[in-house]
Structure 1
Amino acid sequence: MTENPQPFEGIPLIAPSTTDHPQYDAVVEACRSVFDPEIPVNIFDLGLIYTIDIDEENAVKIVMTLTAPGCPVAGEMPGWVAEAVEPLAGIKQVDVELTWEPPWGMDMMSDEARLELGFM
């Protein structure tokens, strides 16, 4: 009797972003305008934005996390991200989803964020 493979085997924990969409760079820059109030680095470079998915109708779905579940702005941060992205020209709607899987780690930060925080 052969065992069935795990149902999630091979599926990445973080879905890929639609980096080839013409609006992608503008959405990234909008995300870079949002800062964690406790850390002087924007949330994109901190690695808190996991996925930016933009469909053919220019509806944006962002999957993000926070540095810790007990983050004092947990209830507010997704709204800040949506408010930063919604005004972009051509964007139809923005949906921001908060996830805890996979958990955020310092290895998710960009080199710029590591340098800013003195980890390099």
Structure 2
Amino acid sequence: MSQSPEPLEGAPLIAPSTTDHPLYDGVVEACRTVYDPEIPVNIYELGLIYTIDISDQNEVRVAMSLTAPGCPVAGEMPGWVADAVLTVPGVKDVDVQLTWEPPWGMEMMSDEARLELGFM
């Protein structure tokens, strides 16, 4: 049984997004329409969307986390994100994966989210 190799020192734990893809901004805006029911800030500004990877065939893969593994909507939120992203014109398919690595932390929130929640 082989073990997966340790990440390289200094290697990012979060894979980069396909920010130069023409659909990227629309996918981000779609993610901004999804809210954690317990927090009045969208999941993109909360930093729960880790990676938006868009293929040349306009297939979107989203890696996301939740504020906590016991989040009451853990089973539903990936579907909400997929449904929102599928409304973006040109998107052919969406695959949303939950990950717990790295664990979400408050430092992942945008300045807008910190301001909205009174942390700034």
Give the alignment's TM-score, normalised by structure 1: 0.93
Secondary structure of the residue aligned to 1:30 is helix
Which position in structure 2 is the counterpart of 1:70? 70
Q: Distance in 2 between matches of 1:117 and 1:67?
A: 14
1:60-84 Cα distance to aligned partner (Å, 9 max, x none): 0000000000000000000000000
| Displacement of 1:57 | 0.2
Secondary structure of the residue aligned to 1:28 is helix
| Displacement of 1:7 | 4.0
Please identify runs of 4+ aligned residues in structure 1 that moved more than 3 A.
Answer: none
For 1:104-115, list aligned pairs within 5 A.
104-115=104-115
The size of the alignment, in residue pairs, is 115
| Displacement of 1:109 | 0.2
Q: Unpaired runs of 5+ in structure 1?
A: 1-5
Aligned-residue CA RMSD in angstroms? 0.9
Which position in structure 2 is the counterpart of 1:80? 80
Structure whose alpha-carbon radius of gyration is higher = 1
Q: Distance in 2 between matches of 1:7 and 1:35?
A: 34
Residue 75 of structure 2 aligns to which amino acid in structure 1? G
Q: Distance in 1 between matches of 2:82 and 2:102?
A: 21
Higher mean displacement: 96-105 or 8-17: 8-17
Residue 13 of structure 1 aligns to which amino acid in structure 2? L
1:64-111 Cα distance to aligned partner (Å, 9 max, x none): 000000000000000000000012111010000000000000000000
Q: Distance in 2 between matches of 1:64 and 1:51?
A: 7
User: % of aligned pairs identical?
Assistant: 75
Give the alignment's TM-score, normalised by structure 2: 0.93
Which position in structure 2 is the counterpart of 1:3? none
